[in-house]
Amino acid sequence: MSKQEGLQNKKENFIEWYIELIQKAELADYSKVRGFNVIRPYAYEIWERLTKILDSKIKEKGVKNAYFPLLIPESLLKKEATHLEGFSPETAWVTEAGSSKLDERLAIRPTSETIMYDLYSKWIRSWRDLPLKLNQWVNVVRWEKTDPKVFLRGREFLWQEGHTAFATKEEAEKEVRDIVNMYKEVLEEYCALPVTVGIKSPKETFAGAEYTRVTELVMPDGKTIQGPDCHHLGQKFSTMFDITFLDKDGEKKYVWQNSWGFTTRVLGIMFGIHGDDKGLILPPKIAPIQVVIVPIFTEKDKPAVLKEADELKIRLEEDGIRTYIDSREDKKPGWKFNYWELKGVPIRVEIGTKDLANDEYTVVRRDTLEKIKVSRKDAIDRIIKLFDVIHNNMYQRAKELMESKTKRVDNYEDFKKYVNGNRILTCWCGNRKCEDEIKEETGARVSCIPDEQEIFCNCVKCGEPAKYSVYFAKVY
């Protein structure tokens, strides 16, 4: 990649920059069906690393992996009317097999509550069968009517969906907080992404749930995007699907349920928040390549430089560091520097004749592009420590972005003034009428009712006493 082939300016037009980044960094590509995208190997390896981390944490909570069918009979979706109503606009249907019409329409999995809970009603009989905790790693299809965006809002995406059943409401609600805390930990400690945690408004709550607890993130253009979440389903689905158990006293009761999910949307969030005009910036813990070594040589010193590069790679890999040597001779060093900056590799090590003579390496941080001279003897230790420094810097920069794109307002004029390009923190009476009017007039919706509550003004719309402090925003 030459300098002239660089990305567009991120600050001037975030979404055009993002689309260009996705393709030039070889993260995804488009298929012939709009909204159904190809995840290319580089991005898929990041997803694999995240799934491995998350799968381990899920299993630590006593959750077992399973698999349920892709196709869901319409009759099952109809059992919970609110659930069907919520997903009907996004549901893709199979109506024919070969040349034969099907007796019943089959939905391509938009989410799996109904098909799973039909079987939960068979499997759960006694308190001894509880809690039942299952998870599956699958794809889903939701036929978005809005303009699809790769990773951020596709019509097909990958996710894990956990579905749990408990004997008591207390157990179920405890899990809601535990699951969202787990998601928050993964986003912050591995993806370097700060999040806001809270609940959705009743209008924005998952169809069929009592309430939805979410992680929320702020994108560089000031729009918010929902991260991984957990839905407390209460006893709505257990009542509809007759999921009951006999307790220790022999009394028949309905189970309490949750569902929760983490999707490939996280990839797009991470790419969009951390990247710059040179390309990706990847957190060290999940980068496919953590260190790229670029040997710089002439024919005369080529053997010595390549030998040193090989030896450094061995030393790095002995410490578990994912390392790659770019020894291509048809590409100049400057081209390689641009290429690996585009790919977001956290650390680049340059080894040239002068470096060998001085018994040192030139280490370049991707997050700041700072060049550091590191002695050969101390290189491994310095690089390992730099990983933490880079992660913390990325997290802090993302936090500063979130704070700079959040405006606290106490009146509707300021709300309308700042809502384009920002998340608005204000106060709300909780009335659906105000929520609907704000969305109609500004395009902003209640994105999150945060855990940390401070009522600092009356309702920003109607002026009546406020019930919540809340974030409004335009959303992805």
Domain spans, the chain: 3-274, 291-386, 406-473
Indicate the range of 71-80, 116-125, 214-223, 303-312 predicted with least confidence: 71-80
pLDDT at site 124: 98
Is the model's pLDDT at 382 over the cut of 70? Answer: yes
| Cβ atoms of 291 and 316 closer than 8 Å | yes
pLDDT at site 296: 97
**Mean pLDDT, rounded, for 7-25:** 95
pLDDT tens digits, 334-371? 999 999 999 999 999 999 999 999 999 999 999 999 99
Q: Report the CATH superfamily, name and number, of domain 291-386.
A: Anticodon-binding domain (3.40.50.800)
Which tokens hold the place of 239? Answer: 């009542």
Is the model's pLDDT at 1 over the cut of 80? Answer: no
Residue 5 — very low, low, confident or very high, per pLDDT cuts 50/70/90?
Answer: low
pLDDT tens digits, 183-236? 999 999 999 999 999 999 999 999 889 999 999 999 999 999 999 999 999 999
pLDDT tens digits, 143-197? 877 788 999 999 999 999 999 999 999 999 999 999 999 999 999 999 999 999 9
Which tokens hold the place of 186? Answer: 């993964």
- Cα–Cα distance measured from residue 72 to residue 94, given in angstroms and rounded to the nearest whole number: 10
Q: Number of C-alpha atoms within 13 angstroms, CB side, residue 254? A: 13
Q: Which amino acid is at 129?
A: D
Q: Which residues contact 396 (CB under 8 A, 6 or more apart)?
A: none
Q: What is 406-473's CATH number, 1.20.200.10, 3.30.110.30, 3.50.50.60, 3.40.50.720?
A: 3.30.110.30
**Mean pLDDT, rounded, for 438-460:** 97
Label each residue of the chain as H, E or C. Answer: CCHHHCCCCCCCCHHHHHHHHHHHCCCEEECCCCCCEEECHHHHHHHHHHHHHHHHHHHHCCCEECCCCCEEEHHHHCCCHHHHHHHHHHCEEEEEECCEEEEEEEEECCCCHHHHHHHHHHHCCEHHHCCEEEEEEEEEECCCCCCCECCCECCEEEEEEEEEEECCHHHHHHHHHHHHHHHHHHHHHCCCCCCEEEECCHHHCCCCCCEEEEEEEECCCCCEEEEEEEEEEECHHHHHCCCEEECCCCCEEECEEEEEEEECHHHHHHHHHHCECCECCCCCCCCCCCEEEEECCCCCCHHHHHHHHHHHHHHHHHCCCCEEECCCCCCCHHHHHHHHHHCCCCEEEEECHHHHHCCEEEEEECCCCCEEEEECCCHHHHHHHHHHHHHHHHHHHHHHHHHHCEEECCCHHHHHHHCCCCEEEEEECCCHHHHHHHHHHHCCEEEEEECCCCCCCCCCCCCCCCCEEEEEECEC
| Cβ atoms of 369 and 345 closer than 8 Å | no
- Cα–Cα distance measured from residue 266 to residue 187, given in angstroms and rounded to the nearest whole number: 8
How many other CB atoms sit within 10 Å of the CB of residue 391?
20
- Cα–Cα distance measured from residue 233 to residue 235, given in angstroms and rounded to the nearest whole number: 6
**Mean pLDDT, rounded, for 311-331:** 97
- Cα–Cα distance measured from residue 327 to residue 294, given in angstroms and rounded to the nearest whole number: 7
Residue in the block written with tokens 């290429």: 339
**Mean pLDDT, rounded, for 28-53:** 97
459: left (phi over 0), alpha (psi -120 to 50) or beta: beta
C-alpha closest to that of 229 among 216, 240, 242, 238: 216
Is the model's pLDDT at 3 over the cut of 60? Answer: no
Is the model's pLDDT at 4 over the cut of 50? Answer: no
Is the model's pLDDT at 83 over the cut of 90? Answer: no
pLDDT at site 2: 42
Q: State what percent of residues in the chain have pLDDT above 90.
A: 93
| Cβ atoms of 95 and 105 closer than 8 Å | yes
- Please check whether the domain covering 3-274 is classified as CATH 1.10.20.10: no
Topology agreement, domain 3-274 and domain 291-386? no
Output 370 or 7, whichever has higher pLDDT. Answer: 370
Pairing of strands 371-375, 360-365: antiparallel
Output 79 or 260, whichever has higher pLDDT. Answer: 260
**Mean pLDDT, rounded, for 26-47:** 96
